[in-house]
Amino acid sequence: MLVVTNTIKVKEGAGAALAQRFAGTGGVQDMPGFVRMEVWHASAKEGAEELKICTVWENEDAFKAWTASESFRNSHRGAGGNDSILGASLDKYELLLSRTPKQ
The answer to whether the beta carbons of residues 56 and 1 sit under 8 Å apart is yes
Q: Is the pLDDT of residue 21 over 90?
A: no
Domain annotation covers residue 60: yes
The answer to whether the beta carbons of residues 4 and 63 sit under 8 Å apart is yes
Domain annotation covers residue 14: yes
Q: Is the pLDDT of residue 84 over 80?
A: yes
Give the rounded percent of residues in the chain with a pLDDT score beyond 70: 95
Ranges of beta strands (E only) in the chain are: 2-11, 34-45, 48-57, 85-94
Torsion angle of C-alpha atoms 3, 88, 25, 23, degrees rounded to 10: 100
**Residue 96: C-alpha distances to residues 1, 10, 44 (Å):** 8, 31, 32
Q: Is the pLDDT of residue 81 over 70?
A: no
Number of domains in the chain: 1
State mean pLDDT over 18-36.
Answer: 89
Domain annotation covers residue 45: yes
State mean pLDDT over 16-34.
Answer: 88
Domain annotation covers residue 97: no
Domain annotation covers residue 8: yes
